Structure 1
Amino acid sequence: MTTESTSTEVQQVRAGELLRLARERKQWSVKEAASQLNLKLSLIESMERDQYDANLLPTFIRGYLRSYARLLKISEQDVLSAYERHHGGQQAETRAMHSFSNRTEKEATENRFMLLTYLVGAVLIGLLLLWWWQTHWLSDEVTANTSPVSTAAQLSELTFSEADTGPEQVEYQESMLDTGPEDDEVFAPESSSEVPAEVSVISTQPVAETVLSSNQLTMRFADDCWIDVVDDNGSRVAFGTKRAGYLMQVQGKAPFTVTLGNPTVVEIELDHEPVDLSGFASGRVAKFSVPIQE
């Protein structure tokens, strides 16, 4: 009966109380013990009260207890066993809580990283769709703008050619083909009054206007380049991004106002005459008139 009670009392004794009793038996003060262990006075007091800092790892606590027991010449195993009996379960719970907290924080960090990845991917897809839409839509617009201009110019030339083949023009042409002496007298200055009225009013001025008002602009692209071309009438005859190797021919009234994103990758001809673009810098937007004004 006495043995069982004594064993129970030993099991209830805390590690700090074992250390304090051993220090008092040696008649040492807490300050003397701290000085011999080269530890802080507050740490020695917390060990004897069996109250430890929550931020202090159990591994360091066991090391301090072992050093203190060795200094006091008592069993290190008894001190450590007493510590484990009263603090072992608490330390395990604390470690589990820390592990759960770390896992939760890690999952939150991973979720934020995945969200950022999805956001960047969505932005890149949006930019790709915008680029595709601009490229194809602008190309369609350029085709729609250039085709009516060419058709209108052809219709204008056809209409004017039909108008020039009227009876008066035929009569005039037949008279010009006849090179006899009688014709010389008819078209002589003194006999100009005898020329029929309908022949005298015929003029080639409209023909000259039609030829001069329709100019062909040819552009060859060695690399991708953005362009904007407006003729003298204010009509936009070309616009958008052209691919490398593309050959473009448009018609309109000169001079043309041309804007190029990169003039060094473009060759321009006006009515089959090359235009000098050597004065423009590479990679810089250039705006000029064709023909180039000196």
Structure 2
Amino acid sequence: MTEEVLAQEPITSLGEQLATAREQHAVSIDEMAHKLKLTAKQISAIECDDYSQLGPVTFVKGHIRSYCREFNLNEAQLMSQFRHQREETEKRMQSFSRRTEREAKDNRLMLFSYAIIALILGSSLFIWWQNREPAPTEAETSKTVVETPSQENSTVPVVTERKATNQINLAEISQLSDDEPQQISSQEPETTPVEQPEVAKPAVVEKKSDTKKNVSTIVMTFKDDSWVEIFDADGERVAFGVKKKGYVMTLDGKAPFNVVLGKHYIVDVEFNGELVDMSHFPTNRLAKFSLPLSE
């Protein structure tokens, strides 16, 4: 019955009642501490309902009973109120513990969600990195600038040597004709000087025609910056690097050519004067093909 009344009617706390009784009897904190053989700090803690510094519950109950005997207080009522306050404190502690556990669980769930998001972002970046267009390094670009002219001009010395050989043959023939004019004139005075140059001239024409027949021409017009790499029939790399917008590249060499274009849709390609159709290549990938195009 007493506990129900305490629960229904708001009353002062146990500590406040003990402090009021001490003050009514004009007893100081130091005097009360001396009587209970406690420190002034512990007396203040009892009157503030702070029992954490007083040891086990049995000791706290003993101190409350000492107050009751000293100031003629209702021990049963105060002990009942002490139990009620203690139960309320335990309930608050349990509620706080459950709230702490729930917050810890929510924090773990949040960390797990962040890990999932980070994994998705990392996978997306990895896929993008795999599908991005390869960009050549500065060393490769500079090497290409040095190598390309040597490949484009590699056919010139061959033609020059052939022309020089033909000229040497003509000179030797004319020298032989000058050294032995009497013998040639005695045998065939009119036909011998004419036939020797005529034999050498067709050889020069045939060699030139063969050289032109084996050389093919590629013309690329770049409408925007694009990466390109080209190998000729001998496996020699004749072009490599990033070509700027508006650049027109002309290559002569031996077909077939193996071509790789970074952005084929912005490059016009002509092979031996005919425009190459590259509309069937996908725009999001490198274009790899041979010239002439295989049907």
TM-score normalised by L of structure 2: 0.48
TM-score normalised by L of structure 1: 0.48
